[in-house]
Structure 1
Amino acid sequence: MPKVIILAHAELAPNGAELDVPTGTSICEALLENGIEIEHACDMSCACTTCHVIVRKGFNSLNEPEETEEDLLDKAWGLEPQSRLSCQAIVANEDLTVEIPKYTINHAKENH
């Protein structure tokens, strides 16, 4: 089972986290199932950018982004070449290191 290492985030994971994640799980689902309440205003339907993450290690092991995701990422705060929407990024067999950006463009925090 691959590990997903979450780098420290002041609000969501102050000490970071190391998660064992089944292959085929989205990064967003893995975070939520492990108590890391990443925003996901569109309920993981690839319609916003609130679940934007930066994959620091293991990026190439993820599924290819579809055009809709790539178009949305252009609107994400702090976009980097290794950016993905966590609701669309599916964990494969390789370990990942993930950073949750400090900000999103969401003006109201969702309460899921």
Structure 2
Amino acid sequence: MPQIIVLPHHEFCPDGAAVEAESGQSVCDVLLSNDIDIEHACEMSCACTTCHVIVREGFDSLSEADELEEDYLDKAWGLEPESRLSCQALVGSEPLVVEIPRYTINHASEKH
């Protein structure tokens, strides 16, 4: 079972975390099911960029991004070559190290 290591994020995961994932699950689903409340304003329908993560290790083991995801990623704050929308990135068989960017372009949080 692959592991996802989440680098520390001041709001969502201050101490960082290491969680178990099943292949085929979205990174967003894994984080949410482990009490890492990453933003996901569109309810994981690939209609925003609030669940943007940067995959520091294991990027090539994820499912491929489709054209719609690529279009939304172009709008994400802090875009990097290893950026993915966590709601669309499906875990493969390799461990991952992900970073949740400090900011998002979301103007309204589902938590407020």
Measured against the shorter chain, the TM-score band is: over 0.9
Partner of 1:18: 18
The separation in 1 between residues aligned to 2:70 and 2:108, in whole angstroms, is: 23
Q: Deviations over 1:40-93 (max 9, x none)?
A: 000000000000000000000001100000000000000000000000000010
Measure how far apart 1:107 and its partner are. Answer: 1.1
Aligned equivalents of 1:17, 1:92: Cα separation in 2: 19
Q: Secondary structure at the match of 1:40?
A: coil
Please tell me the residue identity of whatever aligns with 2:54.
I
Instruction: Tell me the equivalent position of 1:31.
Output: 31
> Counterpart in 1 of 2:47?
47
Distance (whole Å) between structure 2 residues aligned to residue 9 and residue 109 of structure 1:
17
* Normalised TM-score (structure 1): 0.98
Alpha-carbon separation, structure 2, partners of 1:2 and 1:67: 26
**Match of residue 58 from structure 2:** 58
The alignment's C-alpha RMSD in Å is 1.0
| TM-score, scaled relative to structure 2 | 0.98
Q: Does 1:100 align with 2:100?
A: yes
- Structure 1 moving runs of 4+ over 3 Å: none
Aligned length: 112
Partner of 2:7: 7
Q: Distance in 1 between matches of 2:111 and 2:42?
A: 12
Partner Cα separation in structure 2 for residue 36 and residue 86 of structure 1: 12
Listed as ranges, the gaps of 5+ residues in structure 2 are none
Partner of 1:111: 111
In the alignment, the residues of structure 2 paired with residue 33 and residue 111 of structure 1 have an alpha-carbon distance, to the nearest angstrom, of 16
5+ residue gaps, structure 1:
none
Cα separation, 2, equivalents of 1:108 and 1:85: 18
